[in-house]
Chain A
Amino acid sequence: MNLAMLLEMAADGLEDRIAVGSRHGGGMSYRQLLDGAAAAAGFFSGRDADRVALVDLNSDAVPLVLFGAALASKPYVPLNYRLTDQQLRAVLSRTAPAVAVVEESVVGRLTGPESGGDVPGVEVVLREALLGAAAAGHAFEAGFTDPDDVAVLLFTSGTTGEPKAAVLRHRHLTTYVITTVEFMGSDEDEAALVSVPPYHIAGISAVLSSVYSGRRLVYLPQFTAEEWVATARREAITHAMVVPTMLGRILDVVAADGQGLPSLRHLSYGGGRMPVPVIEQAIALLPGVSFVNAYGLTETSSTIAVLGPEDHVAAFSSDDPAVRARLGSVGRPLPTLEVEIRREDGAAVSPGERGEIYVRGEQVSGEYEGKGSVTTADGWFPTNDGGYLDAEGYLFLEGRLDDVIVRGAENLSPGEIEDVLVSHAAVADAAVLGVPDDEWGEAVAAVVVLHDGASVTVEDLQQWVRERLRSTRMPTRVEFRTELPYNETGKLLRRVLRAELCA
């Protein structure tokens, strides 16, 4: 149960079908990808390295490094190239002894006198050198991999403190893929556009799921909406996964030039809260496209709940408010795992009641390097996400529990208030957060972005919220901005806003 087994099967079953790259030439077949990964494994094995790090943008080298590390039985550790030099060096030093495959501009940040010297125990290798070794195609005989061996270490974005490294073992990721993806289930013309960075869990699951299903991978080095749309058209992309901020920008480009995305059949989104107006706009603008909302975490090997295409259609066309509301849900848990909502005292709650989302299943790791497992004795992983299940088992997210605003004795969920703000015709985007308050401990503050040319007063927005939610949820402070701070994978940076509001 090595991750590379998924590629070995694809190479046996699909041989010459193109696995990675352009349909206009230069792509790698499944057989070539496996041969290249085996050569990469030989390259990694010949080095004094326990781990294989990647500090790079998206490129066709990503699956080679991922599968090469797996074949060599060394954990794969993709790192965020956007970290500051100091952060990157600190995180990289935690992977030592390691070999780090890097893009050219990264070399100067990790080696040489100006960077502060080499990172001890880390050998820096250029992407081109790795590609050269892979192309040379040296044979490599992989040994037995214990399914319990570590396959991937992923540093979570962590809003506070030291970044934590989530541990994903071969059994977590392979179970996820073989239980959710139909082997060779894709038609030969299918192509997936990957625009999430390699250090995101979705960047890893995209490789594994696409390879196992036989869907060609096309990489966007870095996301811009214009490049995404141009690539989707040029490469006749049929499938893609995007984070909410990406989708909003893609829709702007498509709406502006009116040329649609004729090849696209299937668009999944996740990684953050998707405002319902954006998904409604997407459904209207992209007829014929199936939408999937996926909820998952690094610690759960990606997706644990999906709102499928039929759910979208049913919700979008329904007059029943409860069914319509499901467009704002993340759908139902995968049949291969269990989800429970628990109160602070650990007791499971009934449908409709809010609490913390717990999940249990074979794809769930819940383990961090140096900290061990945070799952309960009977295997439940506390996600630190708040939410509730409706009567039909649809899961609604309310954001990270760390973000909950404690006003007086009442716990307020920012997501609920943000949804109401965004439903106002003048509001394009909104962030709600708690700010220190002498009387209540915390007060509700809202930072709002208006649509171009729209205007609304603070009082109007306060009244809008008060009419729809309890008065305690009304923001006592409302500020207007031209945009909200997001990281590159679509996570709203509340701590940045909090610091600004408290300054």
Chain B
Amino acid sequence: MELKPGSRWRSAVCDTEVIVVRAPSGPVDLRCGGHPVLPQGEEATAGGALDEAHSNGTPMGKRYADPESGLELLCTKAGAGSLSLGDTPMALKDAKPLPASD
């Protein structure tokens, strides 16, 4: 799948939705809950089940990054599945929030 900046994707097996903040350098196999993600708005095929190995949950507002490909995602809707590239879980991009300045 080609993850353009700004493109939005949904999990095939849970409520998770993400937006691409930074595009990867090449094609990647983005999954959520162990299954390839779908373009937002596309209906999931019936019968898919959340893979226990990828069910740590994806909280809204958290960012995920893959330093190797440069891919960065923002979770725009929380879900029970967790994000992975192939079978490798994506790392949470931890950032200390700044003191409010606006």
Contacts and interface: CB of A to CB of B under 8 A. Distances in A.
Contact of A290 (B21, B60, B74, B99): B99
A8 B76 contact: yes
B102 A302 contact: yes
A308 B99 contact: yes
Interface in A35-60: none
A170 B19 CA distance: 13
Contacts of B7: 144
B100 A5 contact: no
Interface in A188-229: 192, 202, 205-206, 208-210, 212-213, 215
Given A5-B76, A183-B61, A306 B5 contact: no
B70 interface: no
A178 B99 CA distance: 14
Contacts of B86: none
B21 A178 contact: yes
A447 to B, nearest CB: 30
Given A147-B5, A184-B61, A205 B102 contact: yes
B65 to A, nearest CB: 11
Contact of A241 (B74, B76, B95, B101): B101
A242 B99 CA distance: 15
A502 to B, nearest CB: 37
Given A12-B77, A178-B74, A303 B101 contact: yes
> Chain A: interface secondary structure?
mixed
| 7 tightest A-B CB contacts, nearest first | A183-B61, A294-B101, A182-B97, A205-B102, A147-B6, A209-B102, A1-B6
Contacts of A5: 19, 76
A179 B65 CA distance: 13
Contact of B100 (A145, A179, A292): A292
B76 A178 contact: no
Contacts of B74: 178
Most chain A CB neighbours (cut-off 10 Å) among B6, B7, B77, B101? B101
Given A1-B21, A175-B21, A178-B74, A13 B61 contact: yes
A148 B22 CA distance: 12
B60 A9 contact: yes
A146 interface: yes
12 contacts: A13-B61, A147-B5, A180-B97, A180-B98, A182-B97, A183-B61, A266-B99, A292-B99, A302-B101, A303-B102, A308-B98, A335-B96
Q: Is the interface of B mostly helix, strand, loop or mixed?
A: loop
A335 B99 contact: no
Given A209-B102, A215-B100, 11 more contacts: A1-B5, A9-B77, A12-B76, A146-B6, A147-B6, A179-B63, A182-B97, A185-B97, A268-B100, A306-B98, A335-B96
A334 interface: yes
A31 interface: no
A202 B63 CA distance: 25
A181 interface: yes
Contact of B102 (A1, A206, A335): A206
A470 to B, nearest CB: 35
Nearest to A13: B60
A306 B21 contact: no
Query: Which of A13, A148, A184 is packed against the most chain B CB atoms within 10 Å?
Result: A13
B63 A334 contact: no
Interface string B60-102: 1111000000000010110000000000000000011111111
A270 B100 CA distance: 12
Contacts of A239: 100
Nearest to A295: B101
A171 interface: yes
Interface string B31-60: 000000000000000000000000000001
Given A1-B19, A178-B63, A309 B99 contact: yes
A1 B3 CA distance: 13
B100 A266 contact: yes
B93 to A, nearest CB: 9
Contacts of A205: 102
Contacts of B96: 335
A43 B30 CA distance: 38
Contacts of A175: 21
